[in-house]
Amino acid sequence: MSDVRPFRALRPRPDLAARVAAPPYDVINSEEARAMAKGNEISFLHINKPEIDLSPDVNLYDDRVYATGVKNLRSFMAKGVLVREAEPRFYVYQQRMGDHVQAGVVGAASCQEYADGLIKRHEFTRKDKEDDRTRHTHELNANAGPVFLTYRQRAEIDRIVAGVRKGQPLYDFVAPDGIGHTVWTVPLEQTSALQKALSAVPALYVADGHHRAASAARVGLERKASNRHHRGDEPYNYFLAVLFPHDQLCIMDYNRVVKDLNGIKEDQFLAKVGEKFAVTTTTEPHPAAPHRFGMYLGRTWYRLEAKAGSFPSEDPVRSLDAAILQENLLSPVLGIADPRTDKRIDFVGGIRGLGELEKRVREGWAAAFALFPTSLDQLMSVADAGLVMPPKSTWFEPKLRSGLLVRTLDTW
């Protein structure tokens, strides 16, 4: 059973939605956010990446950053850029990327269900990033960006969502990156039926936004602990989420670049790689199947194929391509034991293409690795087993825009 509720959103006026909507805080850096928000005083980046309004030398975790986010949110509300929905509502949020279309329900998911493992996750979080978003949420008193959840498709939810999408949308625009975003308000007369249909979902899964989920749930639990009169129905017990059926989602590759070869000469490095992988040069660097990898080294693309017996094929985690690369190459050969914290490795979402990997190597990185995308079945199998994937195993596209629907923690 899944506890998902309607809520009274803060949302842009329809004529301002395209200008307000912004990428999630964690897919662009501060420099990119400054450039993106330049000349647009109502970009939501002023709220979810408020450092852009301060000097670039200000630390990201400085008190002034959080205070600026609060000031900007209040300003957006005072100026009528964001307005309050009159009654608690569900929404349908559709995204279009080329021929790919996905439509999910926007609602408030349960912090307690997250804490109890009923909302399943497949990745660990980094403490510094979780602490940052926890404080950001506390200070704003709002969930600034939605968590991307998925569930195994259910016909009753599909039927309701399809009906809503036949109506007049609240927002409908194409973002600068070419992604179409359409939002409908679910009619009040369908709210109960949709909530009942969602309650029949046996489990929800965090697809994208693990730090947003962990920090939102943490805020709810911290407020619960500090409230002597806690009842359980307070708004802070829930967090903003978009729930998509699993059969509509698109997972892309999540690739790696490394700073150096750990002091190993290139020919010696290739020999070491060849101990666990079959290595050949290639003109088709994108992996065509699981357990194959592209490697860009010395301006040459190589195809790596994991040798039989080099990984436990029945293990749901260690048979993942990200784990195979980590255990058979990144850790033993390059000395990158913990990719979550090691500064010698970086991660590049597949939306940027393999050209981005070549570019990074031309700029001074030593090598790049292209991976075959993780499947949604793999993700769910790992989460169902109570396990976690290696860091940066999945890259979902398209990304949810922040600012279209904001949920405050003191209002239903």
Tens-digit pLDDT profile for residues 361-405: 999 999 999 999 999 999 999 999 999 999 889 999 999 999 999
Tell whether 403 and 351 lie within a shared domain: no
**How far apart (Å, rounded) are the C-alpha atoms in residues 256 and 343?**
12
The distance of Cα 331 from the centroid of its chain, to the nearest Å, equals 26
Residue among 240, 333, 284 nearest 9 (CA): 240
The distance of Cα 285 from the centroid of its chain, to the nearest Å, equals 26
Tell whether 186 and 243 lie within a shared domain: yes
Q: Look at residue 303 in the predicted model and tell me its pLDDT.
A: 98
Q: Look at residue 391 in the predicted model and tell me its pLDDT.
A: 84
Tell whether 69 and 194 lie within a shared domain: yes
pLDDT, the chain, mean? 96
Tell whether 244 and 277 lie within a shared domain: no
Tell whether 161 and 284 lie within a shared domain: no
Q: Look at residue 381 in the predicted model and tell me its pLDDT.
A: 93
Q: What is the pLDDT of residues 57-69, one digit of tens each?
A: 999 999 999 999 9
Tell whether 174 and 296 lie within a shared domain: no
Tell whether 379 and 403 lie within a shared domain: no
108's enclosing H/E stretch is: strand 100-110
Task: Label residue 340 by pLDDT band (50, 70, 90).
Answer: confident
Q: What is the pLDDT of residues 254-307, one digit of tens each?
A: 999 999 999 999 999 999 999 999 999 999 999 999 999 999 999 999 999 999
Q: Which residues contact 127 (CB under 8 A, 6 or more apart)?
A: none
Q: How does DSSP classify residue 40?
A: -
Tell whether 278 and 389 lie within a shared domain: yes
Q: Is there a contact between 277 and 369 (Cβ–Cβ < 8 Å)?
A: no
Determine how many CB atoms are found less than 10 A away from the CB of residue 145: 30
Give the position of tokens 């109570």.
386
Question: Is 228's pLDDT higher than 90?
Answer: yes
Tell whether 69 and 33 lie within a shared domain: yes
Tell whether 329 and 386 lie within a shared domain: yes
Sheet strands (E) in 167-228: 171-174, 180-185, 204-208
Q: Look at residue 215 in the predicted model and tell me its pLDDT.
A: 97
pLDDT average, residue stretch 110-138: 94
Report CA dihedral (247, 248, 252, 254) to the nearest 10 degrees.
-70
Question: Is 322's pLDDT higher than 90?
Answer: yes
Question: Is 341's pLDDT higher than 90?
Answer: no
pTM passes above 0.85: yes
Q: What is the pLDDT of residues 81-123, one digit of tens each?
A: 999 999 999 999 999 999 999 999 999 999 999 999 999 999 8
**How far apart (Å, rounded) are the C-alpha atoms in residues 18 and 376?**
30
Q: What is the pLDDT of residues 152-173, one digit of tens each?
A: 999 999 999 999 999 999 999 9
Q: How does DSSP classify residue 190?
A: G
Domain CATH for 389? 3.30.1760
Q: Is there a contact between 402 and 25 (Cβ–Cβ < 8 Å)?
A: yes
Domain around 88: 4-250+397-408
Tell whether 379 and 317 lie within a shared domain: yes
Give the position of tokens 């109960």.
192
Q: Look at residue 177 in the predicted model and tell me its pLDDT.
A: 94
Q: Look at residue 1 in the predicted model and tell me its pLDDT.
A: 85
pLDDT average, residue stretch 6-14: 98
Q: Which residue type, as a one-letter code, is found at position 89?
A: R
Question: Is 331's pLDDT higher than 90?
Answer: yes
Q: Look at residue 332 in the predicted model and tell me its pLDDT.
A: 98
Quick one: tokens of 268?
């010696």
Instruction: Tell me how many domains the chain contains.
Output: 2
Q: Look at residue 67 in the predicted model and tell me its pLDDT.
A: 98
**How far apart (Å, rounded) are the C-alpha atoms in residues 56 and 60?**
9
The distance of Cα 12 from the centroid of its chain, to the nearest Å, equals 22
Tell whether 356 and 275 lie within a shared domain: yes
